[in-house]
Structure 1
């Protein structure tokens, strides 16, 4: 993984100084080398901060093709690149390095923008075609790697992180609508939290000629219509899924540095570890977090799984004091708000992994999003299957079995379905119920005027309903919509790339290999959720390699113990001091009197109420700290 900065200057004034300034803010993403290329006419400047993982000696960027008419900078990894390289060499292409990134240049020479369909992995890149005078910027299918852009005067700027755009000359300021989208956890690619800054959406590429810009989609989930889902034997699907996941893990072990594993007590990371142990040439090292609260600590389960696979196990204990100390730095790297301090815990985990001498880990992120792991997906299935008979009792049992999910995934409040969803889809997705309840509760805290249903309906207005949702099974519709919001906007950033690359750690995600995802979209939905058992196909495919505890355990979302549950700890003190102090004045969208009243009431809530209150409180705390760190 790396950091990239690029400037397209229509007047040819050159932007080496601005790109170099941006690269300085990305040194954490690429501590091993930083280089800049400026086109002879001054129109294009590409910068790259390198984290060396493959071809350590010769893989520096920017890269160029044989006649230097095409240049690029790449952040990420292309898997199975050696097979692709052999094919390109057979067609006459000559390579300068042994880096995986170089295949991009030669695939583009042969295929143009269609080269994206040949790329397998996590990536973001900017490419300049000097012959056609076209700039191309693209992001992987799921948004694992970030890529932002901004138009400032006669310049188009790109960077892996917003702070690099600010350093390169884009003024730092709040965007009011972006604030609301982020605060409501809807996570639009545009507007973002910052004014004049947009993100290239997952599965899209941008083309620019003479500073004119156009966005194009090259990939989407493409769930088949409900009547077109094939009837398949369980055993056949389980075997096929196991094979494609096995390949995804095996390909991600390719590196010229050691590869470790992030391990929790969940079936996702435990499955990844088991497959790593099968393919790795030596003993795998697994790293796990531990919390001092029974409801949130998965350490003992992770340790048992590590013993099962013969992995070397390292436990990293995290306290409220540690999360309080790390929170501001973690937010500076994340450039958005946290729903829970667990992101600061992941920040500490990545620091410990770096200090242990690792640059690369495999993780289990993405499984819940493609195999319907979250409890709200089971709620949708219960409602869809029951025709209202017994649904209420089944949902109550589901919520009782998921006490840590209150407020984030479930709400106890009566929520009226949003008409736009009912009219166009025939139902209101369960994952949006808690969002609606939260938006209603937050109305008094915010100075921004909004209609809750209108905010939620914006998501529908951003997607291709006819092409991606109409006629699909309810579960696949919910998966699709969830994966357009919280997956790229939170899971892959606040719990992924940003807190990992903060400490120069490249995470690789086998469950978001597009071959894995494209297989799961074709399977019957009851292989995702069977009865009340989520991720059924994964459980059956991995059963021989898992501990009984992991095989039988239901999904537990990764969360740290809420600050309100430990009122004598530093995290609670940080929350109180910040939201009652002068820092709140930096956020013009929060009402001081109402925020103080919310804090007062939250202290008197029962445990379930305090768990639910964690999410708006952490969002407000995040807003204050982001404003402070970015000078907003």
Structure 2
């Protein structure tokens, strides 16, 4: 999977010597050694205007795949992180055209494809990747990130040079100094757009590439994006059964590609349909090649969490498919103990235990000798799996679904059901705190959907958290509007004019926020790679997603008519359930989607002793530490801390007390300031 760093000086810069640049690059690589403990390498130009560095986690071509890579003429140099699939076929095609490969690595495709296609190489790449390539003849630096942003890539311009890396911490040894980006912090830039909490540091967005020239010119451009069928355009003449079979074939192909490895592969397994389907189908593919094949599954279990513990159902699923089961039992004390390490690796604020849980799980995977795991991320976003998606499904008719002969609510029934749902509480996302009358502009900009409003209601900081001096600089805080501002103008236009179904708009927004910035970053790739483990999510194969996005909304969120007139229920991920039914238990097939939680410990009635999280927050969130940040309102934070210590809540859905979530958010900034040595923000 690997980690990369690149430095390119402008013509106006003073270059270090080649030896000095090599030394700086190696120090930088040391800071991200967890991403690639198996090997490292650097390349510099003779004049030291450019340097590339790479740390390697050996998965494909264990013997000759070290980087940086170069072409046979030593004119093209490249560092690549991630995995590129179907490389054997592409390699054979390139060799037939005269390409000469130095290794058997999938990563070397980037070099040779660039020689044949230039910037047009990107459509040929299937997988999760980030790379930086230097063309010495054109003096051009070219960087790109995969379509979904599975692999991270950051950049900043500092001291007349561009720095590009897998993680921001890799910039520190190169002389970059961290400062707070107060506007990004207040307006959730690390969730809503391409910003981070650090001034001048940007993430290269999913499906984008970057060009940099020694004059200082930077160009950033998309090469791929999610798209959906126009709402009034019927689906091609496929039956529902044919759609199900095509989805199944796409999933099998995506899994098959991701089972390619020269090291053992494991599987994350929860109690839900996403990971259960991947595990069952992966084992089927493995057994077709070897009847004695085994698949190791890894599950987080929370024995103290009662009905919120997914360990038992995951255990039954693992037994059903005949997998080798590994159950990792975790307590609140365990989660608290690694939370700050998770923040350091995520490099952004965190307000749940999800990242801490994945950090513990991936550590266990690593300790068992596994470098690669398959996971279920991506299904909920594109198959309609979240509990709040029915709201936006109901906001528009589905002519394509009706043309298939599906029994759907009438327009009047849709409006009545929508009204009732909007008044109901959906505790997993705190929709009871949502409003359907505020954030008017932010919702109108995306065609009236409420999905992004719900995300803001779920736990993002309000204006009361910040000092008046901060708000005077950053302006009015409207999280829903900030998300809408960050969405591509093409999508906003499609939403406003009703070209895309509201469910598709909600899916797009979720993919660009929750999936990209949270799931794939702070409790996905970053905490897995902290333990030198590569995660591969088959549901984020772009061929699969492109097909799903063209399907009628009603085969994703499927209405089911009740016994009484006007009474409907909704089956989430209906077509996924049908496609994977032969490979999962009936229990999982029928189970409704539940929000994943790493549950806190419940204090026994009458017990006044602090639980581990209370004790940790009390010790770490102090007046001195909060005021050293420079932007939080200590009086408000102190009130939150007092409330959580004296009267903690234990929500029925098994998640954290909302007050504890906000305190973890504050603690994240304390950790980031300490680890990155960020000075106090001063107006």
Shorter-chain TM-score tier: over 0.9
Secondary structure, aligned partner of 2:34: coil
Which of 222, 225, 235 lines up with 2:227 in the alignment? Answer: 222
Q: How do residues 358-369 of structure 1 correspond to structure 2 at under 5 angstroms?
A: 358-369=370-381
Match of 1:620 in 2: 666
2:266 pairs with 1:242 = no
Residues 540-549 or 35-44, more deviating = 35-44
Give unpaired runs (5+ residues) of structure 1. Answer: none
Match of 1:575 in 2: 617
Secondary structure, aligned partner of 1:227: coil
Q: How do residues 539-550 of structure 1 correspond to structure 2 at under 5 angstroms?
A: 539-550=577-588
User: Does the 8 A contact of 2:462 with 2:477 survive in 1?
Assistant: no
Cα distance, 1:131–1:625 mapped onto 2, change above 3 Å: same
Which of 367, 376, 388 lines up with 1:376 in the alignment? Answer: 388
Which of 583, 608, 614 lines up with 2:651 in the alignment? Answer: 608
Match of 1:459 in 2: 483
User: Does the 8 A contact of 2:7 with 2:163 survive in 1?
Assistant: yes
Residues 28-37 or 457-466, more deviating = 457-466
Which of 296, 316, 322 lines up with 1:304 in the alignment? Answer: 316
Cα distance, 1:80–1:175 mapped onto 2, change above 3 Å: same
Give unpaired runs (5+ residues) of structure 2. Answer: 397-410, 560-569, 679-683
Match of 1:473 in 2: 501
How far, CA to CA, are the matches of 1:129 and 1:538 in structure 2? 44
Q: How do residues 165-314 of structure 1 correspond to structure 2 at under 5 angstroms?
A: 165-182=171-188, 186-190=191-195, 192-210=196-214, 211-230=216-235, 232-280=238-286, 281=290, 282-291=293-302, 292-314=304-326
How far, CA to CA, are the matches of 2:447 and 2:164 in structure 1? 40
Secondary structure, aligned partner of 2:221: strand
Deviation of residue 571 (structure 1)? 2.0
Cα distance, 1:185–1:18 mapped onto 2, change above 3 Å: closer
How far, CA to CA, are the matches of 2:660 and 2:190 in structure 1? 14
Q: Deviations over 1:22-64 (max 9, x none)?
A: 1010110010011101112322110000000011010000000
Deviation of residue 66 (structure 1)? 1.3
User: Does the 8 A contact of 1:229 with 1:522 survive in 2?
Assistant: no
Q: How do residues 495-574 of structure 1 correspond to structure 2 at under 5 angstroms?
A: 495-531=523-559, 532-562=570-600, 568-574=610-616
Match of 1:586 in 2: 628
Match of 2:49 in 1: 43
2:411 pairs with 1:388 = no
How far, CA to CA, are the matches of 2:178 and 2:553 in structure 1? 45
Q: Which has the higher Rg, Structure 1 or Structure 2? A: 2
Secondary structure, aligned partner of 2:588: helix
How far, CA to CA, are the matches of 2:422 and 2:239 in structure 1? 29
Match of 2:330 in 1: 318
Cα distance, 1:438–1:358 mapped onto 2, change above 3 Å: closer
Deviation of residue 143 (structure 1)? 0.7
How far, CA to CA, are the matches of 2:328 and 2:171 in structure 1? 34
User: Does the 8 A contact of 2:70 with 2:111 survive in 1?
Assistant: yes
Secondary structure, aligned partner of 1:504: coil
User: Does the 8 A contact of 1:296 with 1:561 survive in 2?
Assistant: yes
Deviation of residue 452 (structure 1)? 5.7
Deviation of residue 21 (structure 1)? 1.7
User: Does the 8 A contact of 2:192 with 2:486 survive in 1?
Assistant: no
How far, CA to CA, are the matches of 2:336 and 2:648 in structure 1? 22
TM-score for the superposition, normalised by structure 2: 0.87
Cα distance, 1:271–1:512 mapped onto 2, change above 3 Å: same
User: Does the 8 A contact of 1:382 with 1:394 survive in 2?
Assistant: no
Deviation of residue 209 (structure 1)? 1.4
Secondary structure, aligned partner of 1:165: helix
2:170 pairs with 1:164 = yes
Q: Deviations over 1:480-519 (max 9, x none)?
A: 1121112111110111111100000000010001111111
TM-score for the superposition, normalised by structure 1: 0.94
Which of 456, 473, 481 lines up with 1:435 in the alignment? Answer: 456
How far, CA to CA, are the matches of 1:473 and 1:544 in structure 2? 30
Q: Deviations over 1:257-294 (max 9, x none)?
A: 00000110111100110111011242000000011202
2:61 pairs with 1:55 = yes
Figure out how many residues of one structure are paired with residues of the other and give that number. 623
Secondary structure, aligned partner of 1:244: helix
Secondary structure, aligned partner of 2:415: coil
Secondary structure, aligned partner of 2:120: helix
Deviation of residue 19 (structure 1)? 1.5
Match of 2:565 in 1: none
Q: Deviations over 1:436-490 (max 9, x none)?
A: 5755x72212123156664432333333333563410000011111211121111
How far, CA to CA, are the matches of 1:219 and 1:22 in structure 2? 31
Residues 93-102 or 230-239, more deviating = 230-239
How far, CA to CA, are the matches of 2:223 and 2:642 in structure 1? 49
How far, CA to CA, are the matches of 2:107 and 2:299 in structure 1? 31
